[in-house]
Homo-oligomer: A and B are copies of this chain.
Amino acid sequence: MPYVNIKVTREGVTPGQKAELIAGVSDLLQRVLNKDPSLTHVVIDEVNLENWGVGGLPVPQYRQRRTT
């Protein structure tokens, strides 16, 4: 029954990494809550950097400020 939504910035996540995230989350829910993987849905959303804000700034500006 679990539904898991993973939102990450769109920065070249490979199909292999997506498969690892899906397997990892399903295993975790099976191990911790004994959830049936066949009923566990995982959706990965990739968000453009300018569409994600933290510290009051879009990510590109936020990262620039952290490195200066």
1/0 per residue, CB under 8 A from B, across A3-20: the answer is 111111100010101111
Question: Which chain B residue has the least Cβ–Cβ distance from A41?
Answer: B54
Question: Which chain B residue has the least Cβ–Cβ distance from A11?
Answer: B33
**B19 to A61, Cβ gap below 8 A?**
yes
Beyond A1-B8, A25-B53, 5 extra complex contacts between A and B, CB < 8 Å: A19-B58, A21-B53, A39-B54, A40-B54, A40-B56
**15 A–B contacts, CB within 8 A, in A order:** A1-B9, A2-B7, A5-B7, A6-B29, A17-B33, A18-B50, A19-B50, A21-B32, A23-B53, A23-B56, A39-B54, A40-B56, A41-B53, A43-B47, A44-B51
